[in-house]
Amino acid sequence: MTSLVNDLEAPPHIIRDLASQALAEDIGPGDATSQAVISPSVQAAGQFVAKQAGIMAGMAVARQCFQQLSPKVHFATLKQAGERFETAEVLAEVEGAARALLAAERTALNFLQRLCGVATLTRQFVDATAHAKAQIADTRKTTPGVRALDRAAVRAGGGKNHRRALYDGILIKDNHIRLAGSIAEAVASARSNVHYLFKIEVETTSLDQVREAVAAGADIIMLDNMSIEMMHEAVAIIGDQALIEASGGIDLSNVAEVAATGVDLISVGTLTHSAPSLDISLELRPVP
Amino acid sequence: MTSLVNDLEAPPHIIRDLASQALAEDIGPGDATSQAVISPSVQAAGQFVAKQAGIMAGMAVARQCFQQLSPKVHFATLKQAGERFETAEVLAEVEGAARALLAAERTALNFLQRLCGVATLTRQFVDATAHAKAQIADTRKTTPGVRALDRAAVRAGGGKNHRRALYDGILIKDNHIRLAGSIAEAVASARSNVHYLFKIEVETTSLDQVREAVAAGADIIMLDNMSIEMMHEAVAIIGDQALIEASGGIDLSNVAEVAATGVDLISVGTLTHSAPSLDISLELRPVP
Amino acid sequence: MTSLVNDLEAPPHIIRDLASQALAEDIGPGDATSQAVISPSVQAAGQFVAKQAGIMAGMAVARQCFQQLSPKVHFATLKQAGERFETAEVLAEVEGAARALLAAERTALNFLQRLCGVATLTRQFVDATAHAKAQIADTRKTTPGVRALDRAAVRAGGGKNHRRALYDGILIKDNHIRLAGSIAEAVASARSNVHYLFKIEVETTSLDQVREAVAAGADIIMLDNMSIEMMHEAVAIIGDQALIEASGGIDLSNVAEVAATGVDLISVGTLTHSAPSLDISLELRPVP
Amino acid sequence: MTSLVNDLEAPPHIIRDLASQALAEDIGPGDATSQAVISPSVQAAGQFVAKQAGIMAGMAVARQCFQQLSPKVHFATLKQAGERFETAEVLAEVEGAARALLAAERTALNFLQRLCGVATLTRQFVDATAHAKAQIADTRKTTPGVRALDRAAVRAGGGKNHRRALYDGILIKDNHIRLAGSIAEAVASARSNVHYLFKIEVETTSLDQVREAVAAGADIIMLDNMSIEMMHEAVAIIGDQALIEASGGIDLSNVAEVAATGVDLISVGTLTHSAPSLDISLELRPVP
Amino acid sequence: MTSLVNDLEAPPHIIRDLASQALAEDIGPGDATSQAVISPSVQAAGQFVAKQAGIMAGMAVARQCFQQLSPKVHFATLKQAGERFETAEVLAEVEGAARALLAAERTALNFLQRLCGVATLTRQFVDATAHAKAQIADTRKTTPGVRALDRAAVRAGGGKNHRRALYDGILIKDNHIRLAGSIAEAVASARSNVHYLFKIEVETTSLDQVREAVAAGADIIMLDNMSIEMMHEAVAIIGDQALIEASGGIDLSNVAEVAATGVDLISVGTLTHSAPSLDISLELRPVP
Amino acid sequence: MTSLVNDLEAPPHIIRDLASQALAEDIGPGDATSQAVISPSVQAAGQFVAKQAGIMAGMAVARQCFQQLSPKVHFATLKQAGERFETAEVLAEVEGAARALLAAERTALNFLQRLCGVATLTRQFVDATAHAKAQIADTRKTTPGVRALDRAAVRAGGGKNHRRALYDGILIKDNHIRLAGSIAEAVASARSNVHYLFKIEVETTSLDQVREAVAAGADIIMLDNMSIEMMHEAVAIIGDQALIEASGGIDLSNVAEVAATGVDLISVGTLTHSAPSLDISLELRPVP
């Protein structure tokens, strides 16, 4: 039984809408240069070439950019989401009306370079924790507007997705606890108010809070910005009474240590808020 | 006569639309946790605190996130766009219905952390070229959907904006040249086809292309991915026959050298495609 | 600690959008009769009067209909969501430009009569099970487009909401089981693929399936269309190993018996798909 | 010359928009259960089976729900709008990607069950008045958002549609009369202000008002909530000077008597505001 | 009892939407010139001055253009819709942020000059037929997108509006007749298929067709492109059996003659498809 | 090297959106007449016939109107954009479902008649200046909403397009000059604030202003509403220091004289704000 939800591309309707919005942002009422310089009848072809090694993500939205401008564009995907590629490898080939290719080029590359960057960084975290049970997960720290794409890129990199948004999960954070009065009150309130299908996660920053969360019956306990030592203690306190998530201040230099504490899940904001763009080029040539 | 266009925030209607779209992405039909844990009548207040030093950008869209959820939220901006702040400085204060503050928190921070990241990196490039005439400029390498915010953050960092998009400027790039046949043909075609108010920029990668662009009467010549040495030669060839833009492969380690070649403009994709997020927190407390 | 999530009106932005769409449907480019018969300067006032006893719901969207047509309309709510009213009671008063009142009248009444109908029927189910622990809940069997309003009306009637939609909960139904192969396979697949914050509910139609669901570790087990007798057996089998939901074929004549079996939750499609409209009138008079 | 306008389905663009909006409401960013439990490659097939006898309506929008999610879904309509079906009859067959079928299932059934309910109730009224000249018509008492579908279901049941909305007909109601001063003034004003292609209907509640409406030259006179006896007198007063519509308080128990008074049209709000949902199921099985 | 429907401005929500769409068309992501040349703090004031005499229309949408860009703009309307103005008269005054005034200027003038053009031409037709009973009416020959504004301008000029669109009236034209078989068949079909509140108009081009239309019971008969002589005969044939509309080929040189034939209504496409723009200027000055 | 940007139709996505919006305006929820009179199965065919000679424009949007209503409509374009046609020539042929043809007819004709009017008038100006170097250009004086179509019609007539809108060019007009203080200040401010790819145009109304604009280094100088004599002097003053545009008060009676002054560009508002509609008919016949 293989992983099902981890389809490695975002849902088609979201890809379609984001490509359309991004093309509107960059093309608006028209591509002034190409319309002035390239005849409508010119055909062109070209290759997407990796300038760095990495993990593929975002090919579906890149392809969509071209196809929205001209349904006749031929786009051949050579690397699928989740596949590794080396410097100078050809990732995809495109052929069609030159004006359409030129108008979509930058938008497609903006998506592709960002998303390959996210997938590549995610894979580094996954590889760094390969021998532990802990899974690497994303957070809601995404660039507004493209979360569904960022999440798919994390999956392509081998990571897990956390909740999508505020509407599909209960995560009681520090601010909720302060405003609700205590962990106990917050958890009780959550339990009596939400529908029956939600579990309850509580964010903790001290061992006392960890104990409170256990006592309150939290299903998942997040250890936020704790030292490695404190995490060890927390894991011991919790045992199998709840799932354990580590979060905050985790980077490639310390993620293996975090995983070694025995947590179940490590969520990493850096995956989506600070992954550097991966360099990819598209060079076009005329075709008869 | 001060700089006018460089208003340091994006246009109000774009801020409004992007905040609205981002809130929809994260909140959707409702914030499950806060609705289950926090009574609608609870009021809260809190401070945005910098966890790193940097340059402010994005405050207007962060504020907009809160005000769209509740017009009664009080939001006090303590650092204006373009101002420098230190670690632990308070950047803004917010007070209002706890549910509204909690629902907007992550979206506002996602904007703010990204845009302060862009402004802070831009300022580093600007500072590194302070003694040269060259100006630091952005590119179209932005995350799809938020370009107007990215551009304002570049201005807040002290950079210049390049053209907005494909519709408001003529930039003949390598792909155009190959498809049009030659620089001479591309420039002539552009000149006879676009309206009278556009200048014409040509991207070059060799000194031969630089000479061709000068001969074709290009108004601006971009030196793409040239070595420092080649840039010196290109600058000598062009003289005052065109404005000169350097682009490609420029980072903080070499930007001063690039500026010293005498180019007028240095455009840097990294400003917007790979600026790391700047760490900022929002801690809320109940208010009576 | 009172119930928090059960705010008895739908979220304000949904109310605003649905009122706007409904007014567009009924008014379109203009109210031909009122524009031809009533001068723009005529002011009017009137009362919403109940023609039947019932439970209030939908007042917020009714009010919104008037206020979207004229911000100057005065609308006084005399019965809040969830309150009981008798025949001939005045539910609300409205005063303002006659043309605006006439144009909004039918749309406001269409909402109000439907939603009071839902709340009133829900209250009958709730009253019928008052002495059992079981809670009455809604389903996804709503009229397309107005689910958020239907759900709020169920809360106003004293019911609980089930999951909102397909995106915020895992409910493995008969079709999923047949397509996945077995309850065991479906539950295992769900557990490994969804994020950590979702519980897993399984629909069962036989005692064998109930046992399978318990063995698979389902968090909630739905007894679908079972006889009262079979429900008793199922409740005994499950014990406290999972929450228990009864569903299918439940009406006012048998709901008390269902509740007496010891189930935790009774979901009733009739609440939203077949609640009869409750009769309410609005009579206007000119005011000087 | 057969009836032309009474196409028995709503216009295609409205069906498309309502299906799309309804799917968004129920699926949002994704069907969590099916994505976690069913592999994207699984194919399924199934049958819509009637659990009660009735009249078909809404098949076009149900079909649209499936086709919007996957253009490759095969959907075979076995009962056309307006046709009668018995308990256990197969109404339609569907085959395609299991995830698409599961995601569209509830939305399609919500439409179908409501609209068959409306058509079935309408047919009962039509049958009850089969020997009189009176026609059964709908009203504007529809669930906001789905009026075009409700109207088509009324036609499928054999009823007539009244005006669509406020913009395409003149109906002077009690509130208009009170605000305009008198029936005479209201009719005169209407006649001089609207375009030449509208007739004028007046609602009356007493025989004096009926006489006034006749004197004012109303083209159609509505007898609102009158007793059978009063209707007889009204019909006698009006003769062939105007068309006559009965409305208000009419149900299956008295509609034949109303028809026997000789009115031309009987409008019935119950058709659309209180028709009970008709029970239909969809059972899926895997196909190789 | 004055004319009520002839409110001389379009409905507010249409004005708002059209202003917003028109501003987006002209300003897009920003007014490059004003942002580069005028400081955000500069305030300005100015007057709309007529360069030709005419009839006012469109002031509400012009005002809306300014107010959408800045709610603080002060806009004083000096000439109301329907009022006559002379060359050099001041029509309105505006004061506020210079950038907002400059950005809205052209869009506001484009609306105002077109709509005053329509109103002024309409008034000329109305004046030319002042001594006859015939009323001047518009047609559906409007520029796509702005029909509601064109219709209001016709009312401001003293004209009547014909049906709004295809959805609110029955007009059987030459193409319908050819396709339906005959006038008799078309009218009978219309009568049995549409709702009870529509009258039926038939377009005729010969006296035989006029006789057929009378025989079929048409409520209104249009005389399309007939000679003055033929119109006299048609009027005689029809008598008071139907209302009579003249249409086609009517201009200021012959409209009085047409009116003199005794028709009730003269519809003139030129009013909206070929009215020349009326010249109006806006001159701004700085204010302290 | 032929003219490339002057594609003679507007961009496809704009054509699609405007056709869709225009059809919604005219058809709304349905074409009452055709639905009542013409059976859904009737097929028809017809020809667009010119009633006046002229220049073709707008065929793509007219065709789009039909195809949006029914993809099966066959539409054969017989005259391409920019081609001349004579009275009685057939411009296009259409065949398909009669209801679709009837519903699209008026909207298609409204577009076609307006746009052929614009193209035909433009061609008259172009012909009148055929022996001079001056090019005829459009302005921003278009009917709000349809600018892209108007601009394409100007190209079809042989004219040049000026800037699209406020966002893609710098044109310092009288109001800017007054508010900025002087031409010198305005130009300097523009130069330091906009991106490098924009030229700068200055509007002048006196010879002193012309000299100021030359001194300020304006790239283009507009001579606004100058006498022929003054234009001659301005052209002499400017020489080859800037491009020269004449504008204001130019009509077919004086455009040749204006061109003879030696200006480079003549912009004419009349082309789009006052071009009379060109008469075209569509006659349908049944086909078996």
Task: Tell me the average pLDDT across B234-253.
Answer: 97
| Cβ–Cβ under 8 Å, residues F185 and E61 | no
Segment A105-119 shows an average pLDDT of: 98
Kindly tell me if the per-residue pLDDT of D2 is higher than 90. no
Contacts of F265 (CB under 8 A, 6+ apart): B196, F134, F135, F137, F160, F243, F244, F245, F246
Mean pLDDT (whole number) for A143-171: 96
Strands C43-50 and C280-287: antiparallel
Cross-strand pairs, D203: D222
A213 to each of D83, D113, D172, how far by Cα in Å?
A: 60, 46, 65
Q: CB atoms < 10 A from the CB of A44, how many?
A: 21
Cα distance between the two ends of chain A:
49
For position C6, what pLDDT does the model report?
Answer: 60
Identified catalytic residue from B83, B105, B138, B224: B224
**Cα dihedral: B149, B152, B154, B160 (round 10):** 130
Contacts of F160 in chain B (CB under 8 A): 195
C-alpha B1 chain-centroid distance: 24
Q: Which of E144, E141, E160 is nearest to E8 (CA)?
A: E160
In this prediction, residues D128-144 reach a mean pLDDT of: 97
Per-residue confidence (pLDDT) for residue D7, from 0 to 100: 84
Assess B28–D contact: CB distance below 8 Å, yes or no.
Answer: yes
| Radius of gyration of chain F measured on its C-alpha atoms | 23
Q: Which pLDDT does position A6 carry in this prediction?
A: 61
- Best residue in B172, B197, B203, B245 to probe F by mutation, most F CBs within 10 Å? B197
Give just the sign of the alpha carbon dihedral F47, F53, F57, F61. negative
Q: Are A178 and A147 in contact (CB under 8 A)?
A: no
Chains touching E (at least 3 CB pairs under 8 A) are A, B, C, D, F
Is F168 in the A-facing interface, judged by CB distances under 8 Å? yes
Q: What is the mean pLDDT of residues F205-211?
A: 98
Q: How confident is the model at residue C4 (pLDDT cuts 50, 70, 90)?
A: low
Query: Does the pLDDT of residue A94 top 70, yes or no?
Result: yes
User: pLDDT band at residue D178, thresholds of 50, 70 and 90?
Assistant: very high
What's the mean pLDDT in E59-87? 97
Mean local confidence (pLDDT), D162-181: 96
CA A46 to chain centre: 28
Respond yes or no: is residue D31 known to be catalytic. no
Cα E180 versus chain centre, distance: 31
Instruction: Quick: pLDDT tens for C171-191.
Output: 999 999 999 999 999 999 999
Is residue C22 less than 8 Å (CB to CB) from chain D?
A: yes
DSSP string, A50-65: ESS-EE---HHHHHHH
CA atoms within 13 A on the CB side of A242: 28
Each residue of B103-135: pLDDT tens digit?
999 999 999 999 999 999 999 999 999 999 999
Going by pLDDT thresholds of 50, 70 and 90, the confidence category of residue A7 is confident
What are the catalytic residues of E? 106, 141, 173, 203, 224
Tracing tokens 């008063």 back to the chain, one arrives at C93
DSSP-H helix ranges across A81-161: 98-128, 147-156
CB contact burial F198-210 (16+ within 10 A = b; e otherwise): bbbbbbbbeeebb
Which of A133, A196, A201 best tests the C interface by mutation, with the highest count of C CBs <10 A?
A: A196
Q: For each of the domains in chain E, give its residue range(s) and CATH number, in order of start.
A: 12-119+276-287 (3.90.1170.20), 127-273 (3.20.20.70)
C266 CB within 8 Å of a chain D CB: no
Distance (Å) from the alpha carbon of C87 to chain B's nearest alpha carbon: 32
Q: Which residues from F are below 8 Å from B161, CB to CB?
A: 195
Confidence of residue F4 (pLDDT cuts 50, 70, 90): low
Residue E7: predicted pLDDT: 84
> pLDDT class for C7, splitting at 50, 70, 90?
confident
b/e per residue D141-163 (b: at least 16 CB within 10 A): bbbbbbbbbbbbbbbbbbbbbbb
Q: Is F18 helix (H, G, I), strand (E, B) or coil?
A: helix
Question: At which residue do the structure tokens 């053009």 appear?
Answer: E117
Whether the Cβ atoms of residue F83 and residue F53 lie closer than 8 Å to each other: no
Residues E217-228 have a mean pLDDT of: 98
- Contact call for B29 and C7, based on CB within 8 A: no
Nearest by Cα to F179 from E50, B8, E288, E31 = E288
pLDDT for residue D107? 98
Q: What is the mean pLDDT of residues A248-254?
A: 96
Residue F5 has pLDDT above 70, yes or no: no
Cα A7 from chain centre: 12
Residues 119-148 of D with CB under 8 A from F: 148
Residue B74 has a CB neighbour count (10 Å cut-off) of 12
Q: What would the pLDDT profile of A183-214 be if each residue is shown by its tens digit?
A: 999 999 999 898 899 999 999 999 999 999 99
d(CA F40, CA E188): 17
Written as one letter, the residue type at C229 is E
Interface partners of D (3+ CB pairs, < 8 Å)?
A, B, C, E, F
pLDDT in the model for residue A80:
95
Best F182, F197, F267 member to test B by mutation, with max B CBs in 10 Å, is F197
Mean pLDDT of C129-157: 97
Mean pLDDT of chain C: 95
pLDDT(A37) > 80: yes
Q: Does A288 touch chain E (CB under 8 A)?
A: no
Amino acid at A281: S
Residue E56: pLDDT above 80? yes
Residues of D in contact with F35 (CB under 8 A): 4-5, 7
The predicted model gives C184-200 an average pLDDT of 94
Confidence at residue C140, expressed as pLDDT on a 0 to 100 scale:
97
Is residue B133 among the annotated active site residues? no
Active-site annotation holds for A160: no
Residue E43: is its pLDDT beyond 90? Answer: yes
Q: Is D225 on the interface with A (CB under 8 A)?
A: no
Pick the residue from chain D with its C-alpha nearest to F33.
D5
Cα angle E191-E194-E198, degrees, rounded to a multiple of 5: 80
Q: Mark yes or no for CB contact A168/C167 under 8 Å.
A: yes
D1 pLDDT higher than 80: no
Round the average pLDDT of chain F to a whole number and report it. Answer: 95
The residue from F141, F163, F191, F211 that is catalytic is F141
Q: Cα dihedral sign for A13, A16, A19, A20?
A: negative
φ, ψ for residue F90, nearest 5 deg: -85, 125
Q: Any idea which of A33-42, A248-257, D113-122, E6-15 has the lowest mean pLDDT?
A: E6-15
Chain A residues inside the 8 Å CB shell of F155: none
pLDDT score at F7: 84
pLDDT surpasses 60 at C2: no
Cross-chain residue pair C168–A199, CB shorter than 8 Å = no
- Tell me the residue type at F136: I
Annotated catalytic residue: which of B16, B140, B141, B163?
Answer: B141
- Single-letter code of the amino acid located at F257: E
Q: How far is E148 from chain F (nearest CA, A)?
A: 9
State how far the Cα of F41 lies from the Cα of F70, in Å rounded to an integer.
13
Contact A25 B110 (CB under 8 A): no
Per-residue pLDDT reduced to its tens digit, B252-284: 999 999 999 999 999 999 999 999 999 999 999
Nearest to residue A219, comparing CAs of A237, A241, A235?
A241
- Mean pLDDT for B157-163 is 95
Q: Residue B3: pLDDT above 80?
A: no
pLDDT the model gives residue B2: 41
CB contact under 8 Å between E39 and B7, yes or no, is: no
Structure confidence at residue B1 (pLDDT): 34
Report the C-alpha gap between C254 and C226 in whole angstroms: 12
Pairwise CB contact (< 8 Å): A40 & F148: no
Catalytic residue among D9, D224, D245, D264: D224
What sections of chain A are H helices per DSSP? Answer: 12-27, 32-37, 59-69, 98-128, 147-156, 174-180, 183-193, 207-216, 228-238, 255-260, 270-273
The percent of residues in chain E predicted with pLDDT above 70, rounded, is 98
Query: Is residue C3 pLDDT above 80, yes or no?
Result: no
| Residue E217 backbone class (left: φ over 0; alpha: ψ -120 to 50; beta: rest) | left
Question: Mean pLDDT across the stretch B14-36?
Answer: 95
pLDDT at A3 over 50: no
User: F132: which DSSP letter?
Assistant: S
Nearest to C45 by CA among C112, C100, C3, C8: C100
E140 pLDDT above the threshold of 80: yes
Give pLDDT, residue E4. Answer: 53
Residue A229 CB neighbours (<10 A):
9
